[in-house]
Structure 1
């Protein structure tokens, strides 16, 4: 039976259909937004800005980026068009696995909450979505974190490549940094993703039904709700995302990325203090504009694709059962 708009994401489809729809949504969303992701990472790792009075002059050969479009032009000019898709292989794997784990965990946690609370004591929709979304985000982040770190490191390298390929990167990080090297920055990653995904799903579930009632073109209520929810959640959790990126490129290869002057940081709290001391509060929001530009279409594409892929897989399942 196909879901209608009054049905929550937590109640739609079988487990396999949810996994397939989440993976499909993640793959398509990543491919569409890959250039913005590379720009965001480059800006987040940059400790200098020409317009920042706190900037230092010793860049050690690293570039200074200003704005989304100029950064894109600089990457294309110095690294070619393919530079905008650096790290795309681990990122596609990340988004595929992340989408599958995220939507599956979201559905399972929400159903557990409903089962334990019972029909009479069910939590408010927004609270249920916040808890399920935060838990799903934490689970997906923990499971896929090594791919996230690899995505960041590939996107951070310029023409002087630090890692020649994904297999070599895996071998080199394991040899030089051990298993712990794959989990650099996990603490701020979890600290950021729990409120982000909790707020995102709570806002999305709250907005999608009334927005669908507006009869937007191309049945885009899901997309608009995804954009609004993403902007709300991303702005509040952005500093921890930046801290995660800075920690991810620590280690023996720190001085070999496109930004040669990335300081050495120690721990989540230590990194926050160092950024505030050296760059001021605005340093915690480097790349926020492009992050919102990226988050909005990424969430819109993800949720729009997920809803339609899930309906397609449910429809195919119904057809298959009807023919049996």
Structure 2
């Protein structure tokens, strides 16, 4: 039985047309195939933009030694002190998070959308349904995967001098990382504040992701409505609409992302300041760091959205093709990635 399954999987990978391989693929429910496709696409996209994500977190959290540096100078400095692997610090936690996050976001979005359509037909089937379903799906996915996002941020925040070359008064950097990996982060955070500490910063995350996810789906579907029927399946069209939707949603909700990052790394900062809630975080940052800090790293966030969406759509389409996911019904919705 086991060898038969291995043969079937091998046939799936190399594209053979063996009956066993057809059976293994076809016996999977469509939603399972979509979960697999979405999770794989999310992992590919996250890894591709990991260097920009690391720099964005450093700029958002005002990591010591990077306060006054721009994106390019920050990348040069990080490369100097941590070499190439420094760009991928925390990416393991990011990928572990994005796989279930993307899968859950996609699946629950479809489920919420169907539930709304079935129970509230008066709302119609336009983009407003995508706004509601996308918002609910975003909140659901965050609640299930937030501890991994916390671990990713804490690992990315640390800048260690792996080459022993810190100079010019930068001796205050951690000579060794406080956390050595995902498991170490979970153990340390749990020991520090229990299970509740694993959700430090989840408030602004939810406040940010609910409108962001909703706006992303809403904008994507609204843009699609103005695309001619013959171009509805075009990858370029999906990429363009998805990128615009992501840019719009991200700009509106970005300050909340900054508050979230700062709350996640509070225990690692010298002043050990604490924000009681999202609103206090926003007002304190504006008062002490200036309103521009609410948009720190936004430029690099723009830079990573387009390639992320491009890679995500390409990987998702390839996975759907390999998994033989049937075309969506016209009344259904296409994920914005």
Which contiguous aligned blocks of 4+ residues in structure 1 show a shift greater than 6 angstroms?
none
User: 1:316: Cα distance to partner?
Assistant: 8.7
Aligned to 2:269: 254
**Matches of 1:266 and 1:310, distance apart in 2:** 44
Aligned to 1:51: none
Aligned to 1:153: 154
Q: How does 1:176-255 map to 2 (within 5 A)?
A: 176-208=192-224, 210-211=226-227, 219-251=235-267, 253-255=268-270
Query: What count of residue pairs does the alignment treat as equivalent?
Result: 284
TM-score under structure 2 normalisation?
0.78
Contact 1:220 1:304 in 2 (8 A): no
Match of 2:308 among 298, 306, 309: 298
For residues 208 and 304 of structure 1, do their structure 2 counterparts lie closer, same or farther at Cα, with a shift above 3 Å needed? farther
Contact 1:43 1:65 in 2 (8 A): no
For residues 153-212 of structure 1, the C-alpha deviation after alignment (integer angstroms, 9 at most, x for no partner) is: 000001130101222221111112211111010000000001100000111122246557
Contact 1:222 1:304 in 2 (8 A): no
**Matches of 2:62 and 2:116, distance apart in 1:** 42
User: 1:315: Cα distance to partner?
Assistant: 4.7
User: 1:290: Cα distance to partner?
Assistant: 0.7
Q: Which structure has the higher relative contact order (CA within 8 Å, separation 6+)?
A: 1
User: 1:300: Cα distance to partner?
Assistant: 3.2
Aligned to 2:88: 85
Q: Which runs of 5+ in 1 are unaligned?
A: 1-12, 48-60, 256-260, 318-324
Question: What is the CA RMSD across the aligned residues, in angstroms?
Answer: 2.4
Q: Which moved more, 1:241-250 or 1:269-278?
A: 269-278
**Matches of 2:315 and 2:143, distance apart in 1:** 24
Contact 1:223 1:301 in 2 (8 A): no
User: 1:239: Cα distance to partner?
Assistant: 0.4
Aligned to 1:52: none
Q: Which runs of 5+ in 2 are unaligned?
A: 1-28, 161-175, 328-337
Contact 2:34 2:325 in 1 (8 A): no
TM-score under structure 1 normalisation?
0.81
Q: How does 1:168-179 map to 2 (within 5 A)?
A: 168-179=184-195
Three-state SS of the structure 1 residue aligned to 2:198 is: helix
User: 1:36: Cα distance to partner?
Assistant: 0.7
For residues 205-235 of structure 1, the C-alpha deviation after alignment (integer angstroms, 9 at most, x for no partner) is: 222465576869x832211111111000000
**Matches of 1:19 and 1:178, distance apart in 2:** 31
For residues 129 and 246 of structure 1, do their structure 2 counterparts lie closer, same or farther at Cα, with a shift above 3 Å needed? same
Larger Rg: 2
Match of 1:66 among 64, 69, 82: 69
